[in-house]
Structure 1
Amino acid sequence: MDTFDFEPPSKKSKDGSETMVDTVFEKEIYLIRNNSKKLYLNSKTADVNFVFGAGTDHVETVAAHKIILSISSPMFDTMFFGSLPEQGDVPIVDTSPAAFKEFLQFFYLNKVRLTSEHIIDVSILCKKYGVTEALKLCEEPLQKSFTIDEMCSGYALAILLEITNTMQFCEREIIKNAEAILKSTSFLKCNCDTFDKIIQLVTSKCSASALVDACMVWAKAECVQQNLKETTANLKAQLGQSFGRIPFAELNKEQFEQFMTDYSDLLDKSDLATIISKMMTKKETEEQSCSSLFASNDDRRVAINRQKEVVKYEICSSFVHNSDSDSF
């Protein structure tokens, strides 16, 4: 809302000193904003053109006004009025003319119209050019545009743009729809950092076997993306720090045996030691909850130690094809 601050004129008294006259007009007006919409995409009054498709047969220009863009964007202010101001037309290569036109609405119009087709590109432009208030306005339509299949991509975008509300929205949706998220196309395409965050979000919200399978499918997709062979060494390398978050210790005996059949040399001696330790801890916790069944503490310790040996035997049996298995 623009406010017209009327500066009272002065007049000279008989002795030559200045005195202020009474204010004769003060009212909120919308003249500047109402007229600025007439300048939107107006090539007649524009002093800069953004060029799309330069060097191709499909060149398109979008007209704008340096001063109007500079008022709301530190990036444009530096571009046009900095120490090395941009001269002539400005080539744009990272978005479409249609998306850029939607973005420019924020500088000229009282009411903007954003489409689902371009909302992601418009949000990125708001971040790039430092139009913070416009980026906040993009959050609601941005969230509405994300389907479950696209949620991981949306989450990665929210992290990139540093928009907290949308990040939290995506996290809630990922947790609520954990197993569907793990089967989504965007999950397979997410980068390592986003993958790691998602794994932490869904660990307690889906079955261990579903999460283990999803992690391996993601690792295979990452190998394909990087033109790597699907060797167990490459699969493990793609999983990186997330490897330690995969809940191998939560698999039952049959599931673990199947995993070892499919990925016989993925787990080394150190990995197995860690898994055995986690399984033993889990079993001990379960046994402690039933401690009242034993006549004495000695009986309880004997039972727990026996259970530990059972767990160790089951894991080592599954790992029989590995030459290091006798170390356990």
Structure 2
Amino acid sequence: MPVEGETDCRGNLSLAGCVEKLWDRQAHTDITFHFPNDGEKTSSGHRLILALRSAVFEAMFFGPLAHSQDVVIEDVDKETFDCLLSYIYTDRVTVDGDTVLKCLFAAKKYCLDGLMSICNKYLSESITGDTVCTIYEQAKFFDMVDLANRCRSFIITNSASVFLEEDFTNLTRESLIDIFSDENLRSSELVHFKAACHWAQTACERRDKDVTPENMRNVLGEALKCIRFPLMSAEDFTKYVSQSDILSAPEQVLLFRHFIMKGFPSKECEFSALPRACTRLVTPVPNLEGDREVKLNQVVIKIEVSHDLHLVSFSMPKQEEIQSVLIVDENDREIPAKVPVFKKDSSSFVFDPPLLLCSKCAQLQVNLNRLTKVRNIYNKSLLTHESQTFFEDLQISHFKVKNRVYNFGEITVWVTMAPAKLKELVFKRGQW
């Protein structure tokens, strides 16, 4: 029935238009919702229309335990419930940063998938470094798998900046373990440790606990074991980790032994020394004073690896033309591989896709066309920020060459021969 003074326009409206008009006028309502936690405010609706849109309302109004004309709502405030009613009657709703999570909860409770999609879209478009962790936790809580995966991917890709945000402390310990365990984290282990300390301090404060090393370790739990301390530099470990006293004295002794010995951590050490899959493993091959050069009719770059690795590129001038690339397996069979392409901007030969080197292979040989000088490296010691390097004697054919060994935590790369102009080799772990 039209309101007095208004023209009856029902004949020109669709059913959806009539339902919207019914909502606007609040006419013929037959159910009242009370909000005792929101100042005893009320909202009204139509049982039949609500039941048509929501299985929960259908059970509420027409099931065996059907309600009368009054329903008490204690876990949703009136403003949020009115947004839900507006969506039911009009298929439209406006959400913002203050209302989206409340609407998402209400949509989940009353099985309104369309409203959940609207909230999902808003949250997906709102992912930033200072909101992603909160959105990630809400997406997991509401079983929004696609949104959770997008948030997780954002955190992993932008971990160096996300870990600095206050929102990072809103991650649960379960999520913290999951994130710190990811092979594709693109930040350093020192960044992970500092983020873990900040998270632990906040967790202690929220639980009214004193911020002590013992309490911080307790709230971190298994998350602390996901930090790969052996991959830190000795300087960073001494300055930041050792002084925090979060690690026990025996743990620190084992790790200091690792840094001093420049080798693998002890089997008693429970912290992984395996570089993350996305880490670039760079083996510099500098010109050293005292390098002796010899002439060969055929020059090869011989490489062996302790773990499966992908060879991404090696730096060398273009005039060093490559004749062939061979992978020599454990049975001394030579398997041809794709020849890399020279990239002028980086002065590197790049494998596209990167060349998989298996730990079971005897070696990789990159054969060069022309007579080239080869380095015979005297017994010296190097230490770079990306690798720990030492040399061992190795007799090859009729001349003496040195075996250069590069350690990246648990990974070892042996370069047994190299042309004088080779500058560096770049490896990565993981799938391509």
Shift of 1:96: 3.0
Give, as a single letter, the amino acid of the residue that structure 2 aligns with 1:73: S
Q: Aligned runs of 1:218-233 on 2, under 5 Å?
A: 218-233=199-214
Shift of 1:87: 3.1
User: C-alpha deviations, 1:264-309, integer Å up to 9, x for none?
Assistant: 3533536865882467777xx9896589974069x999x899x99x
The separation in 2 between residues aligned to 1:119 and 1:280, in whole angstroms, is 42
* Cα separation, partners in 2 of 1:149 and 1:75, compared to 1, 3 Å: same
1:96 counterpart residue number: 77
Whether 1:36 aligns to 2:19 is yes
The separation in 1 between residues aligned to 2:20 and 2:80, in whole angstroms, is 18
User: C-alpha deviations, 1:179-198, integer Å up to 9, x for none?
Assistant: 22101111112222222233
Shift of 1:30: 7.2
* Cα separation, partners in 2 of 1:106 and 1:304, compared to 1, 3 Å: closer
More helix by share: 1
Shift of 1:141: 1.5
The separation in 2 between residues aligned to 1:36 and 1:146, in whole angstroms, is 35
2:66 counterpart residue number: 85
1:49 counterpart residue number: 32
Alpha carbons 2:390, 2:406 under 8 Å: kept: no
* Cα separation, partners in 2 of 1:281 and 1:33, compared to 1, 3 Å: closer
Q: Please state whether the residue corresponding to 1:227 is helix, strand or coil.
A: coil
Q: Please state whether the residue corresponding to 1:213 is helix, strand or coil.
A: helix
Instruction: Tell me which moved more, 100-109 or 151-160.
Output: 100-109
Q: TM-score, length-normalised on structure 1?
A: 0.71
1:255 counterpart residue number: 236
Give, as a single letter, the amino acid of the residue that structure 2 aligns with 1:194: S
Q: Please state whether the residue corresponding to 2:152 is helix, strand or coil.
A: helix
Alpha carbons 1:189, 1:221 under 8 Å: kept: no
Shift of 1:39: 2.4
* Cα separation, partners in 2 of 1:291 and 1:228, compared to 1, 3 Å: closer
Give, as a single letter, the amino acid of the residue that structure 1 aligns with 2:222: Q
Q: Please state whether the residue corresponding to 1:180 is helix, strand or coil.
A: helix
Shift of 1:47: 1.4
Shift of 1:157: 0.6
* Cα separation, partners in 2 of 1:300 and 1:189, compared to 1, 3 Å: farther
Whether 1:139 aligns to 2:120 is yes
Whether 1:295 aligns to 2:394 is yes
Alpha carbons 2:201, 2:211 under 8 Å: kept: yes
Alpha carbons 1:41, 1:62 under 8 Å: kept: no
Alpha carbons 1:223, 1:230 under 8 Å: kept: yes
Alpha carbons 2:217, 2:246 under 8 Å: kept: no
2:247 counterpart residue number: 266
Whether 1:150 aligns to 2:249 is no
Give, as a single letter, the amino acid of the residue that structure 2 aligns with 1:196: I
Whether 1:66 aligns to 2:47 is yes
Give, as a single letter, the amino acid of the residue that structure 1 aligns with 2:15: I
The separation in 1 between residues aligned to 2:33 and 2:69, in whole angstroms, is 9
Give, as a single letter, the amino acid of the residue that structure 1 aligns with 2:224: F
Give, as a single letter, the amino acid of the residue that structure 2 aligns with 1:238: V
The separation in 2 between residues aligned to 1:171 and 1:181, in whole angstroms, is 11
Alpha carbons 1:171, 1:201 under 8 Å: kept: no
Alpha carbons 1:33, 1:110 under 8 Å: kept: no
Q: Aligned runs of 1:152-301 on 2, under 5 Å?
A: 152-201=133-182, 204-264=185-245, 266-267=247-248, 269=250, 276-277=265-266, 294-295=393-394
Higher relative contact order at CA 8 Å, sep ≥6: structure 1 or structure 2? 2
Alpha carbons 1:154, 1:170 under 8 Å: kept: yes
Alpha carbons 2:50, 2:57 under 8 Å: kept: yes
1:323 counterpart residue number: none
The separation in 2 between residues aligned to 1:296 and 1:235, in whole angstroms, is 53
Give, as a single letter, the amino acid of the residue that structure 1 aligns with 2:165: S
Unaligned runs of 5+ residues in structure 1 are: 1-28, 309-328
Shift of 1:206: 0.8
User: C-alpha deviations, 1:18-70, integer Å up to 9, x for none?
Assistant: xxxxxxxxxxx97321211122265431111222245x7x3321111222222
Alpha carbons 1:41, 1:63 under 8 Å: kept: no
The separation in 1 between residues aligned to 2:180 and 2:205, in whole angstroms, is 20
Give, as a single letter, the amino acid of the residue that structure 1 aligns with 2:212: T
The separation in 1 between residues aligned to 2:41 and 2:248, in whole angstroms, is 56
Give, as a single letter, the amino acid of the residue that structure 1 aligns with 2:125: K
Q: Please state whether the residue corresponding to 2:72 is helix, strand or coil.
A: strand
The separation in 2 between residues aligned to 1:201 and 1:236, in whole angstroms, is 20
Unaligned runs of 5+ residues in structure 2 are: 1-11, 259-264, 276-281, 284-302, 306-388, 411-432
The separation in 2 between residues aligned to 1:61 and 1:271, in whole angstroms, is 62
Alpha carbons 2:56, 2:110 under 8 Å: kept: yes
The separation in 1 between residues aligned to 2:233 and 2:391, in whole angstroms, is 26
1:126 counterpart residue number: 107
Q: TM-score, length-normalised on structure 2?
A: 0.55
* Cα separation, partners in 2 of 1:78 and 1:300, compared to 1, 3 Å: farther
The separation in 1 between residues aligned to 2:272 and 2:170, in whole angstroms, is 32
Alpha carbons 2:229, 2:273 under 8 Å: kept: no
The separation in 2 between residues aligned to 1:300 and 1:90, in whole angstroms, is 84
Q: Please state whether the residue corresponding to 1:204 is helix, strand or coil.
A: coil
